[in-house]
Amino acid sequence: MNASNEFNKEKLLGKSFVFEALDSRAREELAEFSYVKRYDAGQKIFAMGEPGMSMMAIAEGSVRVSMMTPGDRDITLNDLQAGDVFGEIAMLDGGGRSANVDALTNCALVVLERRSFLDVLNRNPALSIRLIELLCQRVRRSDERMIEVAFMDTQVRLSKLLLRLTTTTPGSNDRPLQKLSQSQSELAGMIGNTRESVNRCLGKWQKADLIALRDGWLIIKNRERLEALADEF
């Protein structure tokens, strides 16, 4: 894990949903108080329950947010990509981290410490509004996940997950992704199900030509049909 100054931190912050609302002067001020950390693939960024005095914006790479259940089952909550932010809950309330975060790939993160961030936040109402919107998104997603696990069958949950993982950043002109590298065990963890159930569902979809499984990739061949399956609940 090495610090680096090779990034234009102001530009990177501007790519994030949270910080794009700030004018260039406010982003420049925020960037002055931030620093960059690198993590290797598989390295733990922080663990659930640890003190949290900073939040991070992803400059490069991707990270996984997860937590352990009381039965020692590892549940994946989300995979985050460049432009996403995380760690904001503990940073704002000064409490412990609410989940584990690990580097999925080699990562570069822009780190914002609590004291400096709150100073900028107090002078920028637009940033406060964006943070509220971000936290509301987190709550909505948590509620959706509880409903999915409690009431939806594997096929509906899995189709919703694949669509969510392949949807690009809101407002982006990029087309949806066509393939994913997550393993069946990882997908099962993200929907709170077993690998065997996910395997059966994917096998069924492969026969129906909705997806293809090739060289470790899950390739989406019929997005419209997956969207129809996701809306069946």
**Choice among 25-34, 40-49, 65-74, 131-140 with the minimum mean pLDDT:** 65-74
Q: Give the confidence band of 2 by pLDDT, cuts at 50, 70, 90.
A: very low
Element (H, E) at 37: strand 34-39
From the list 85, 67, 74, 116, the residue with the least C-alpha distance to 12 is: 85
Element (H, E) at 223: helix 223-230
pLDDT reported for residue 3: 44
pLDDT tens track for 52-107: 889 999 989 999 999 887 777 778 888 888 888 899 888 888 889 999 999 999 99
Q: Please report, as a single letter, which amino acid is at residue 180.
A: L
Average pLDDT over residues 30-48: 93
Placement of tokens 């790939």 in the chain: 105
Element (H, E) at 35: strand 34-39
pTM: 0.70
Of 149 and 135, the structure prediction assigns the larger pLDDT to: 135
Of 40 and 6, the structure prediction assigns the larger pLDDT to: 40
pLDDT tens track for 174-220: 678 888 988 898 898 888 888 999 999 999 999 999 999 999 899 99
Question: Residue 133 and residue 189: Cα distance in Å, rounded?
Answer: 27
Q: 205 Cβ partners below 8 Å, 6+ apart?
A: 211
Q: 102 Cβ partners below 8 Å, 6+ apart?
A: 42, 43, 44, 45, 63, 64, 66
Edge to edge, what strands does the sheet with 74-80 contain? 44-46, 100-103, 63-68, 74-80
**Choice among 14-28, 113-127, 175-189 with the minimum mean pLDDT:** 14-28
From the list 171, 140, 175, 163, the residue with the least C-alpha distance to 15 is: 171
Of 109 and 29, the structure prediction assigns the larger pLDDT to: 109
DSSP character at residue 96? B
Question: Residue 178 and residue 182: Cα distance in Å, rounded?
Answer: 13
Token pair for 151 = 């009431």
pLDDT reported for residue 168: 65
pLDDT reported for residue 4: 44
Residue 1 scores a pLDDT above 80? no
Question: Residue 112 and residue 87: Cα distance in Å, rounded?
Answer: 10
Q: Give the confidence band of 115 by pLDDT, cuts at 50, 70, 90.
A: confident
